[in-house]
Amino acid sequence: MHVNPTDELPVAVIGAGAAGLLAALTAARAGAPVILIERTTDGGRKILISGGGRCNILPSVAELERFVTDSSMNTLKRMLRAWPVDQQKAFFERELAMRLVLEEESGKLFPETDKARDVRDRLVARVREAGARIWLGATVADVTPAADGAPWTVAMQGAPPLSASAVVLATGGLSVPATGSDGIGLAIARRLGHEIHTTYPALTPLLAEPAVHADLAGVSLDVTLQAPGARPRFSTKGGFLFTHRGYSGPTVLDASHLAVRSLVQGKERQPLTARWTARDFDAWETALTQSRGPVGALVSRELPARLAARIMEEAGVDPADSLARLEREPRRRLATLLADYPLPWTGDEGYRKAEVTGGGLELSEVDPGTLESRRHPGLFFCGEMLDAFGPIGGHNFMWAWATGRAAGLGAAASASARR
C-alpha cells in the first residue's frame, strides 16, 4: 500500500461506489495516475443491491424538477446537464459492452443481462484497464490539505500515509451502512470548513406505530400520493405497498423525505394522503351516486379486495348496502377515504433502509463545472456526499455518474497543473 515518494503523485479517489468508480476511470483516462481507495473488500455494493439486484442504471428520461436540494436548484441542474442522460446511456453501453433495456411500465433502464454484478464488475475492470490501482479493504482516517506547494496527505488506518496531487471524496453518505457507508467523507468535509446541510434518511419506507394496517401487508397497487400543505406542491404516482410495519413502494419512498424532515426539524408531522385509484373525490361521488348494485361490488372492482373491505369498514358502509340507498354522509365519507386517504405514518426505517442520504455538502461550496472545493484547491467532491438526490428510478445513479465524471476530469486537470 505504500507509494514510493519518487513516484509521480497520484490522484486519490476515496470510495469505490458509483461516483468513485466513474471519478477514478475518468481521471485515469485523462492521463492522471490514480489510486482508488475502498474500505470494503469489493466496492460498488450499492450497485449490487440496486434494482433488486438488477441495477436500474439510469432513468430513460431525466426528471430534473423532481430532485431535492437545500442548495441552488439551478446549480444542481447545471451539474446534471453537463452530462445528459442520453450521453450517459451511450457511455455505459460502450463501456459495459451491453445494451441498456427500457422497462416500459417504469421508464427505467436496466442492463440487458439484468445483473447488477455485471455492471459493477465491468466498471471495476475498466478502471483497472485505465491504469488505476485499487486498494480494497483500506480505511481512510483523515485527509490533510496541501500547503505551500506540498502534496495532499491521506492518513490510512494501519498503513503509511499516502501523498496525493489531488483528492476526490466519493465516500457516499449514511444510507445502507451495511454497504460500507459511514459518513467519513462528510466528517472530513466539515472539519475542513465546508458547509454541510443537516443530513437525513431519504427514499426510505415509512412506519406506523401501532401498525394499524399490518393485516394488509403484501397488498400493492398504483396510487397517487400527495403531501397537503407542502411547498412546493408535491404529488407522485406509482407503486404503493403495505408492509407489516407500515408502507413502502416507489411513491412512499419518493414522499418520505417530506415526512422525515418534518420530524428532523421538530415540526408537526407532514400529512400524506393516498388516492387509491385514478378517481378524485368528485369522480367517486358521481360513481357512487349514479351506479347501481351493492357498494362492495363497485369498490372491489377498483381496489384489491382486502383494501376495499378495509376502506368500507372505516367509512361505516356495509359492502352489501345498495348504492341507490346510500345516504349522503356515508357516501361522502367513503369518497373521501377513496380519494384522499390520510396515511397514518408515525416514523421511518431510517438510514438502514434509506436508498440515499438527504442533505450534505452545500453545492455552492464547489465549482459546478469541476466539482473542486472553493475552500481547498485540489479537493473534489461527488455523488451522495453532495446536497442533492432524485426520485426512485435511476436518478441517483445519474447524479453519481455525472458528478463522478466531472470530479475525475477536474482532479486530473488539477494534478496536471501541479506537474
Tens of pLDDT, residues 253-264: 999 999 999 999
Tell me the per-residue pLDDT of 195-237, one tens digit each, with 9 for 90 and over. 999 999 999 999 999 999 999 999 999 999 999 999 999 999 9
pLDDT score for 2: 41
pLDDT cut 70: percent of the chain above it: 98
Cα 267 to the center of its chain, rounded Å: 24
Alpha-carbon span 277 to 338, nearest angstrom: 7
Tell which CATH classification among 2.40.128, 2.40.30, 3.40.50, 2.60.40 matches the domain 205-272+343-348: 2.40.30
pLDDT cut 90: percent of the chain above it: 96
Give 286's contacts (C-beta < 8 A, 6+ positions apart).
Answer: none
Alpha helices in 11-84 (DSSP H): 18-29, 45-49, 73-81
Tell me the per-residue pLDDT of 319-346, one tens digit each, with 9 for 90 and over. 999 999 999 999 999 999 999 999 999 9
pLDDT at 148 > cutoff 90: no
Alpha-carbon span 360 to 350, nearest angstrom: 16
Note whether 415 and 92 are within 8 A (CB).
no
pLDDT at 1 > cutoff 50: no
Please, what is the end-to-end C-alpha distance for the chain in angstroms? 23
Which residues share a beta bridge with 162? Answer: 154
Instruction: State the CB neighbour count (10 A cutoff) for residue 63.
Output: 14
Cell of 123: 466498471
Dmax of the chain from CA atoms?
90
The arithmetic mean of pLDDT across residues 252-277, rounded, is 97
pLDDT at 6 > cutoff 80: no
pLDDT at 46 > cutoff 70: yes
Q: Same topology for domains 205-272+343-348 and 281-342, yes or no?
A: no
pLDDT at 284 > cutoff 60: yes
pLDDT score for 316: 97
User: Domain locations in the chain?
Assistant: 11-201+355-418, 205-272+343-348, 281-342
pLDDT score for 326: 96
Tell me the per-residue pLDDT of 92-124, one tens digit each, with 9 for 90 and over. 999 999 999 999 989 999 999 999 999 999 999
pLDDT at 152 > cutoff 60: yes
Note whether 19 and 170 are within 8 A (CB).
yes
pLDDT at 135 > cutoff 60: yes
CATH 3.20.20.70 fits 11-201+355-418, yes or no: no
Cell of 22: 466513474
Tell me the per-residue pLDDT of 168-178, one tens digit each, with 9 for 90 and over. 999 999 999 99
pLDDT at 4 > cutoff 70: no
The arithmetic mean of pLDDT across residues 6-21, rounded, is 92
Tell me the per-residue pLDDT of 350-391, one tens digit each, with 9 for 90 and over. 999 999 999 999 999 999 999 999 999 999 999 999 999 999
Alpha-carbon span 165 to 92, nearest angstrom: 28
pLDDT at 154 > cutoff 70: yes
Residue type at position 200? Y
User: Among candidates 18, 54, 46, which has minimal Cα distance to 127?
Assistant: 18
Alpha-carbon span 366 to 382, nearest angstrom: 10
Cα 400 to the center of its chain, rounded Å: 10
Alpha-carbon span 260 to 287, nearest angstrom: 36
Note whether 176 and 21 are within 8 A (CB).
no
Alpha helices in 218-344 (DSSP H): 250-264, 281-290, 295-302, 305-315, 328-339
Instruction: State the CB neighbour count (10 A cutoff) for residue 190.
Output: 13
Cell of 107: 421508464
Cell of 246: 407500515
CA distances from 35 to 23, 199, 247, 300, 408 (A): 11, 28, 42, 59, 12
Average pLDDT, the chain: 96
Sorting pLDDT into bands at 50, 70 and 90, what band is 181? very high
pLDDT score for 5: 42
pLDDT score for 418: 81
pLDDT at 182 > cutoff 60: yes
| Site of grid cell 341507490 | 324
pLDDT at 3 > cutoff 60: no
CATH 3.10.50.40 fits 281-342, yes or no: no
Alpha-carbon span 68 to 362, nearest angstrom: 12
Torsion sign (Cα): 168, 203, 232, 395:
positive
| Site of grid cell 499516502 | 162
CA distances from 136 to 1, 165, 269 (A): 10, 21, 42
